[in-house]
Amino acid sequence: MLRRLRWALCWALAILVLCLLPGDRLPAWGWFDLLDLDKLVHALLFFGQTVLLASAFLDEGRPASPLAWAVGLSLAYGLGTELLQGLEALGRRTDPVDMLANSIGALTGAWFTALRRRKGRPIVPAFLR
């Protein structure tokens, strides 16, 4: 479990760094704004976070409801990072739609994990196990 949890913690650190970059350091891509990939990026980040956490929890057999814990932790982390983005020093803002994207990603990650388990397939690639 520790190895898988380590991957989840590294992923969480990457999310934190990306979400707390000051606004003036974010790339200004015209096509990025045009396609509004920001929401997709948020969903994918929290999809990955949930899958990694669920994999670590399921491997160990704890907690009692591993998918619920993985989703709950991912949702709480998503809310926390969004609230931190509202800090004036970062030059960013809290965005409720980003939180929705984070939630969709987390819930989709739980669905994906449950589907993989039901089919008897590994949840994460071998190099993450």
Sign of the dihedral defined by the CA atoms of residues 71, 77, 80, 81, in that order = negative
Query: What is the end-to-end Cα distance of the chain in Å, rounded?
Result: 9
Q: What is the pLDDT of residue 76?
A: 96
Domain-located, residue 49? yes
CA distances from 102 to 5, 17, 61, 107 (A): 20, 16, 26, 9
d(CA 30, CA 21): 19
Domain count of the chain?
1
Q: Which domain holds residue 123?
A: 2-15+37-128
Does the residue 95 lie in any domain?
Answer: yes
In this prediction, the residues of the chain whose per-residue pLDDT falls under 50 are 34
- pTM value is 0.78
pLDDT, position 23? 62
Angle at 84 between CA 31 and CA 43, to 5 degrees: 45
Asked whether residue 44 is assigned to any structural domain, the reply reads: yes
